[in-house]
């Protein structure tokens, strides 16, 4: 893993402060959005930041409230509040166009944030999107009827996960927020270039989700890359090289 400098902190009145790393450079600014219960210390975020530094590109990493080094309680957060975190930090620290890179749940936030930026700033703000096993609507397809009932009745669902020694916790607040922000059953009004990477052996987010997302997007410039043998994380050396190449090619077309 790449050694990173200590994070900076973005102070907000009445809301948790957010940990982030920002590097100035050539645009568009690459903004990495981690997955659920993840943070900016992961291998993909670190590698992307190191590559951006070597290439003199602008890059922003962040931890959502309640995650990583940011303040706040995880159980009090929701998909909507995390989208707000993204928008707050980008508005405060980034000038000009962005390329949003979203991993798993970060891919859902990538779409929601891009739609909000489109409404607020116009189409030039979002230069492109890169999803890594993007997981929009996973509160719908990612849980059984029994699991949804537990979330509703007990307020949370706890599951073992191979990605952490801590249980995977889904709160009622997050689940309800997700259900209110589902995207795949209608056209997604984004026209920017979109690149979707997905491992064919992903046991958490079916590759069909990326295909369904590609069909839902209004953009005519959408490419889906299925990675043979790739799992949900897509964190092998070859996977990360593919991610960097994908981001670089997209950034070069928008510079």
- Residues 191 and 219: beta-carbon distance below 8 Å: yes
Q: Active-site residue 38, yes or no? A: no
Rounded CA gap, 127 and 190, in Å?
11
Rounded CA gap, 27 and 22, in Å?
13
Average pLDDT of the segment spanning 70-76: 96
Q: Active-site residue 202, yes or no? A: yes
* Token pair belonging to 230: 């790739």
pLDDT surpassing 70 at residue 163 = no
Per annotation, catalytic residue among 104, 177, 198, 239: 104
Q: pLDDT for 186-221, tens place per residue?
A: 999 999 999 999 999 999 999 999 999 999 999 999
Average pLDDT of the segment spanning 38-63: 96
DSSP 8-state code for residue 233: S
Average pLDDT of the segment spanning 155-164: 82
Rounded CA gap, 118 and 120, in Å?
6
Q: Active-site residue 104, yes or no? A: yes
Q: Look at residue 65 in the predicted model and tell me its pLDDT.
A: 98
pLDDT surpassing 90 at residue 255 = no
What's the CA dihedral at 124, 62, 160, 162 to 10 degrees? 90
Q: pLDDT for 10-29, tens place per residue?
A: 999 999 999 999 999 998 99
Q: Which residues are registered as beta bridge partners of 224?
A: 196
CATH code of the domain made up of 18-138+189-254:
3.40.50.1820
Per annotation, catalytic residue among 85, 202, 204, 239: 202
């Amino acid at each position: 893993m790449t050694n990173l400098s200590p994070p900076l902190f973005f102070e907000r009145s009445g809301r948790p402060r957010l940990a982030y790393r920002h590097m100035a450079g050539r645009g568009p600014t690459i903004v990495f959005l981690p997955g659920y219960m993840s943070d900016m210390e992961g291998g993909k975020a670190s590698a992307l930041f190191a590559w951006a530094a070597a290439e003199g590109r602008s890059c922003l990493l962040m931890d959502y409230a309640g995650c990583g080094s940011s303040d706040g309680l995880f159980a009090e957060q929701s998909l909507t509040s995390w989208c707000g975190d993204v928008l707050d930090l980008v508005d405060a620290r980034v000038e000009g166009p962005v390329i949003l890179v979203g991993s798993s749940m970060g891919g859902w936030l990538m779409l929601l944030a891009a739609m909000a930026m489109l409404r607020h700033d116009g189409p030039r703000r979002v230069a492109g999107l890169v999803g890594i096993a993007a997981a929009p609507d996973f509160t719908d397809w990612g849980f059984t009827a029994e699991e949804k009932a537990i979330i509703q009745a007990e307020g949370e669902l706890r599951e073992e996960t191979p990605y952490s020694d801590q249980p995977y916790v889904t709160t009622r607040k997050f689940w309800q927020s997700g259900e209110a922000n589902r995207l795949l059953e209608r056209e997604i009004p984004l026209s920017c270039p979109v690149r979707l990477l997905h491992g064919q052996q992903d046991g958490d987010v079916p590759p069909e989700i990326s295909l369904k997302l590609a069909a839902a997007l209004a953009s005519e410039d959408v490419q889906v890359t299925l990675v043979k043998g790739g799992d949900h994380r897509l964190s092998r050396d070859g996977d990360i090289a593919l991610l960097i190449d994908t981001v670089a090619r997209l950034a070069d077309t928008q510079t």
